[in-house]
C-alpha cells in the first residue's frame, strides 16, 4: 500500500481515520496492519470501512456511507486505497415515544431511557437503553429505534417498542433428588403488579423422603420413625411467597416479612426424653408443641453502579 486517502470527511479528521485504519487491522493473525508500506489486504480494507461507519454512527451520523476504491500500479506491486465519505446530517432526538405497553406504567420504561429530546442519537447508547428496558423483566421483546429509519433527517423521533410477557404464568415441576426424594413444585407468578414491573410469586413444594440408606448409621432409626407417621405427616411441605421490584432509583427501601410455623411432635412418650438423653446427655429434652413467629424488618439499599450492564464503577 502506497497511499491511504480519506476525502469527504468533515466530522472525523483524516488523521483520526488513518489511525483508525491501523487500529482496526492491528493484532490480527490472518492479515497485516493496513498502513502505507504495509501488505495489501482486501479483508483489511473492508474492516476499516466497517470501523469507519461505526465511528460515524457513534457520533450521530446514522446515515453516513463509506466507500473504498483501490487503484493498482502498472506493475501491480503497489496499491492506492481511497475512502470516500458521504456523511449526511447528524441526527438529534425529536421526541421519545413509548409503544406496545398494556399494563406497564410509562414512567417505568422512561426511567430506563438515557437518550433525551435534543440529544445526539448514538446507536450504542440506544442499544444500552434497549438492554436496560429488557432487564426490567416483564417484556418478551424490546426494541429502541428511530421512526422511519430509512429517511434521513436532522431530527428524528425515538421509539421504544415493547411486547409484554404473559402476566400469570403457572409452572408444574416434578423431580427427584437424594435430599428430598420424590418432589413436586408448583409455582404461580403475577407479572407487572399494578403496572410497576414488580413480580409477585407464590410457590409450594411437597416431597417425601425415601432414600434413608444415605444416612448411614441413622438410616434404620429414621425409617422406623417415618413408619410411625401417617401418610400426610410423612410429606414435607414448603410454601413461599415473594415480590421482586426492579431498581428505578439508586436508593431502595423495602420491608421483608418472614413467617415461621413449627410443629414438634413425639411419636412416643420416650422419644422426647430417653432417646435424646441416651444419645446426647448434655442436651435438654425436646419440647413438643407449636411455635409461630413473625418478623418484619426494613432494608435500605444504595446502588452505586453508573449503568446496569456493563458498569464502569460500582460499590
| Per-residue pLDDT tens digits for 19-36 | 777 677 776 665 666 767
What one-character DSSP code corresponds to residue 48? H
The three-class DSSP label of residue 49 is: helix
The number of helix segments (H) and strand segments (E) in the chain equals 6, 12
* Percentage with pLDDT > 70 across the chain: 71
Domain positions in the chain: 3-86, 92-164, 167-246, 249-315
Average confidence (pLDDT) over 281-294 = 59
Q: Which residues neighbour 83 within 8 Å (Cβ) at sequence distance 6 or greater?
A: 4, 5, 6, 7, 17, 48, 49, 52, 66, 67, 68, 69
Task: Look at residue 189 and tell me whether its pLDDT is greater than 50.
Answer: yes
Residue 1 in this model has a pLDDT that exceeds 50: yes
Pairing of strands 92-99, 236-244: unpaired
Banded model confidence at residue 160, pLDDT cuts 50, 70, 90: very high
What pLDDT sits at residue 275? 45
The answer to whether residue 250 scores a pLDDT higher than 60 is: no
Range from 137-141, 159-163, 168-172, 274-278 carrying the lowest mean pLDDT: 274-278
pLDDT level of residue 132 (50, 70, 90 thresholds): very high
Query: DSSP secondary structure string, 106-140?
Result: HHHHHTT----TTPBP-HHHHHHHHHHHHTTSSEE
Stretch 56-83: mean pLDDT? 86
The answer to whether the 3-86 and 92-164 domains have the same CATH topology is: yes
The burial class, CB within 10 Å (0-12 / 13-18 / 19+), for 5 is: middle
Cα gap 74→71, rounded to integer Å: 10
State mean pLDDT over 153-181: 91
By C-alpha distance, which of 306, 305, 262 is closest to 286? 262
β-sheet bridge partners, residue 260 = 293
Please indicate, yes or no, whether the overall pTM of this predicted structure exceeds 0.85. Answer: no
Q: Which residue has the higher pLDDT, 7 or 49?
A: 49
Residue 33: the pLDDT is 63
The closest alpha carbon to 18, from 1, 30, 122, 196, belongs to 1
From the candidate CATH numbers 3.40.50.300, 3.10.20.310, 3.40.50.720, 3.10.20.600, the one assigned to the domain spanning 92-164: 3.10.20.310
What is the longest distance spanned by two Cα atoms in the chain?
Answer: 107
Residue 277 pLDDT > 50, yes or no?
no
- Is residue 212 within 8 A of residue 226, CB to CB? The reply is yes
CATH of the domain spanning 3-86, picked from 1.10.510.10, 3.10.20.310, 1.20.1740.10, 3.40.720.10: 3.10.20.310
Q: How confident is the model at residue 44 (pLDDT cuts 50, 70, 90)?
A: confident
Q: Which pLDDT does position 251 carry in this prediction?
A: 57
Residue 270 has pLDDT above 60, yes or no: no
What pLDDT is attached to residue 315? 46
Report the alpha-carbon distance of residue 299 to residue 252 in Å, rounded.
Answer: 8
34 contacts 45 by C-beta, under 8 angstroms: yes
Predicted confidence at residue 113, as pLDDT, reads 94
pLDDT greater than 80 at residue 215: no
CB 62 within 8 A of CB 92: no
Averaged pLDDT, 161-187: 91
Comparing 67-71, 81-85, 88-92, 216-220, which segment has the lowest mean pLDDT? 216-220
Distance CA 40, CA 260 (A): 73
Amino acid at each position: 500500500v502506497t497511499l491511504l486517502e480519506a476525502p469527504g470527511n468533515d466530522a472525523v479528521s483524516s488523521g483520526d481515520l488513518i489511525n483508525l485504519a491501523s487500529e482496526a487491522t492491528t493484532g490480527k493473525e490472518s492479515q497485516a496492519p493496513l498502513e502505507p508500506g504495509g501488505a495489501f489486504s482486501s479483508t483489511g480494507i473492508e474492516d476499516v470501512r466497517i470501523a469507519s461507519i461505526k465511528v460515524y454512527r457513534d457520533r450521530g451520523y446514522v446515515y453516513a456511507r463509506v466507500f473504498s476504491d483501490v487503484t493498482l500500479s502498472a506493475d501491480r506491486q503497489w496499491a492506492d486505497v481511497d475512502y470516500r465519505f458521504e456523511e449526511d446530517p447528524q441526527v438529534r432526538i425529536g421526541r421519545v415515544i413509548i409503544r406496545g405497553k398494556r399494563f406497564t406504567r410509562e414512567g417505568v420504561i422512561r426511567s430506563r431511557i438515557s437518550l433525551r429530546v435534543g440529544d445526539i442519537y448514538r446507536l450504542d447508547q440506544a442499544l444500552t437503553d434497549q438492554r436496560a428496558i429488557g432487564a426490567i423483566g416483564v417484556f418478551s421483546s424490546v426494541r429502541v429505534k428511530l421512526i422511519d429509519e430509512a429517511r434521513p433527517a436532522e431530527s428524528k423521533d425515538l421509539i421504544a417498542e415493547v411486547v409484554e410477557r404473559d402476566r400469570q404464568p403457572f409452572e408444574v415441576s416434578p423431580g427427584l433428588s437424594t435430599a428430598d426424594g420424590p418432589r413436586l413444585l408448583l409455582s404461580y407468578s403475577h407479572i407487572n403488579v399494578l403496572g410497576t414491573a414488580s413480580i409477585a410469586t407464590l410457590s409450594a413444594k411437597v416431597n417425601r423422603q425415601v432414600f434413608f440408606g444415605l444416612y448411614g448409621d441413622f438410616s434404620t432409626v429414621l425409617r422406623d420413625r417415618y413408619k410411625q407417621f401417617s401418610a400426610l405427616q410423612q410429606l414435607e411441605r414448603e410454601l413461599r411467597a415473594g415480590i421482586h421490584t426492579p431498581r428505578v432509583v439508586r436508593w431502595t427501601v423495602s420491608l421483608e416479612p418472614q413467617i415461621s410455623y413449627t410443629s414438634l411432635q413425639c411419636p412416643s412418650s420416650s422419644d422426647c426424653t430417653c432417646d435424646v438423653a441416651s444419645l446426647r446427655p448434655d442436651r435438654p429434652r425436646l419440647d413438643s408443641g407449636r411455635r409461630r413467629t413473625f418478623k418484619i424488618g426494613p432494608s435500605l439499599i444504595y446502588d452505586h453502579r453508573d449503568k446496569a450492564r456493563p458498569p464502569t464503577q460500582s460499590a
